[in-house]
Structure formats: C-alpha cells, structure tokens
C-alpha cells in the first residue's frame, strides 16, 4: 500500500475499499437469496441486490469526483490508486464476513433457523457498509466535496433502510419461528405463551379457593358485630331502668 499523505488520499482508499465491498456482495447475494426460505426475506434480499448494483455504479461517480478535484501533486498518486481497483486489492474485511456467513448458512440446520442465520449474515454485511460509507461521507464533507458527499449519503441512507427492514423481518416472526423449533427433529417446542396461560389458570383457581374463606370470615365478623350491638342495647336499657327501681324502693 502506497503512503497516504492527506485526507483526500485516505478518502480514495475508502472508496477503493467500498468498490471491492460492493463487488463481493453482488457476487455473494444470489447464494443468500437461494438459501432464504421466507418469502418476505427472499424478496428483501432480491431488492437489495438491485440497489447494490446501483450503489456500485454510484461509486464510480465518486471516484471521478475525488480524482478529478485533486491537485497536480496528488493527481498521479490518486490516479494510480484508483487504477489498481480494476484488478486490485480485495477488501479482506468483507471477504471474512462473507466467508464466515457462508460457513454458517451452509451448516445443517432447520429451515426456520437458516432464515434467522441469513438475516444475521446480511446484517453483518450492512453494518460494515454503514461504517464504510459513513466514514467516506465524513471525509468528503471535511474536504468540501459536496457532490461526492451527496452520493455517499444517498447510499448510506439506503443501507440504514435495508438494515431496519432486516430487523423488522427478524422480529416479525423469523426469530420466533427459529426459537420454537426443536433442535433434535425440527418439531415445534412449547411456546412461552403456554406457561403464561397456565399461570393465569392457577391464579384463578387459587382465587376461587380463597373467596369462600373470605365470605365465611365476613359473616362471622357481621354476627360478632350484631351480638356486640345487642349487648350495648341491653346495657343502655338496664341503665334507664335503674332510677325507676330506686324510686320504687323508697316508696
């Protein structure tokens, strides 16, 4: 790798890396689409492949802007750097992500589990792109390359949308379907919801057992209160009768 003396040279390196990234994704995506079984997931990947091809073309425009606006001193360096892209360095980071993803997706697993694995691999790719495009865009902004920044931001926004869609697909049922599959033979496992229903029934049964006790206790308290009121009334009557008795005895 040649020496990079300024931010523009570093931006050129990032663009070269992203070009390799997009080339590898375009090559690997058809295999991921084939492995996906969920119809919504398959459709999302097919659509993003089409978007990725447009993103790769967009990078060609960024390349022209960066190399075209360089000063005479750096022009030769940037031209050589971009010239190496055609048959040049392969992005090792994306190569590793795709290789690991293919290893996981190629493992023996249930169909629902494989869909969850496809989403995980696709999102790792998306996150690498988000990092790369975000960095390149920041460099372009700093360098005042307005048109390049606009193109990079457009792709960055597309990657955020793609990542959000994959997350929604995962939470909409794909992860749950994978979780409820028996590891041994692919048969459904008991869902957690069944446990919640059982607990509700147990609480209801316990309440029924307790309610008669509460009713009995209440009746006893009422009887005790009534008896207490009766005693009080008797004492009051006795108190009123006492003066009459005294008067009768004096006579």
- Domain residue ranges in the chain: 7-179, 199-251
Res 195: pLDDT: 33
pLDDT for 3: 77
Residue with more model confidence, 221 or 128 = 128
pLDDT value, residue 70? 46
Right CATH number for 7-179 from 1.20.1440.230, 1.20.1260.10, 1.10.357.10, 3.40.30.10?
A: 1.20.1260.10
Highest mean pLDDT, choosing among 127-131, 203-207, 221-225: 127-131
The full 3-state SS of 146-193, as one line of letters, equals HHHHHHHHHHHHHHHHHHHHHHHHHHHHHHHHHHCECCCCCCECCCHH
What band does 231 get if pLDDT is binned at 50, 70 and 90? low
Express each pLDDT in 46-59 by its tens digit: 999 999 999 999 99
66-94, pLDDT tens digit by residue?
Answer: 988 444 444 444 444 444 444 458 999 99
Which token pair is 193?
């919801």
How high is the mean pLDDT of the chain?
A: 78
Other CB atoms closer than 10 Å to residue 149's CB: what's the count?
20
Nearest CA to 44 among 133, 174, 154, 156?
A: 174
pLDDT number for residue 227: 56
Closest CA to 8 of 71, 83, 56, 55: 71
**Would you place residue 230 in the very low, low, confident or very high pLDDT band (cuts 50, 70, 90)?**
low
User: What whole-number distance in Å separates Cα of residue 175 and Cα of residue 58?
Assistant: 34
Give the predicted TM-score (pTM) of the model.
0.66
**pLDDT for 126 beyond 50:** yes
Query: Tens digit of pLDDT for each residue in 2-28?
Result: 678 899 999 999 999 999 999 999 999
- The reported pLDDT for the residue numbered 198 is 36
Quote the tokens at residue 181.
């599959």
């Amino acid at each position: 790798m040649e020496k990079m003396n300024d931010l523009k040279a570093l931006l050129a390196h990032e663009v070269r890396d992203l070009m390799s990234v997009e080339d590898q994704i375009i090559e690997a995506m058809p295999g991921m689409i084939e492995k996906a079984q969920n119809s919504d997931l398959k459709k999302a990947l097919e659509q993003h492949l089409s978007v990725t091809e447009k993103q790769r073309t967009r990078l060609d425009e960024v390349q022209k802007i960066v190399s075209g606006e360089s000063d005479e001193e750096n022009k030769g360096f940037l031209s050589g750097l971009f010239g190496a892209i055609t048959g040049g360095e392969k992005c090792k980071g994306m190569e590793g992500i795709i290789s690991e993803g293919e290893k996981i997706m190629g493992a023996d697993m249930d169909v629902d589990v494989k869909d969850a694995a496809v989403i995980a691999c696709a999102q790792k790719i998306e996150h690498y792109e988000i990092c790369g495009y975000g960095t390149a865009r920041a460099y372009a902004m700093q360098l005042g390359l307005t048109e390049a920044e606009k193109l990079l931001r457009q792709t960055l926004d597309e990657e955020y949308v793609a990542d959000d869609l994959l997350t929604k697909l995962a939470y909409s049922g794909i992860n749950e379907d994978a979780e409820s599959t028996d590891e041994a033979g692919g048969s459904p496992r008991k869902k957690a919801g069944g446990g919640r229903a059982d607990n509700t029934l147990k609480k209801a049964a316990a309440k029924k057992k307790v309610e008669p006790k509460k009713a009995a206790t209440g009746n006893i308290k009422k009887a005790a209160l009534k008896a207490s009121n009766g005693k009080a009334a008797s004492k009051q009557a006795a108190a009123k009768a006492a003066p009459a008795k005294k008067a009768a005895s004096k006579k």
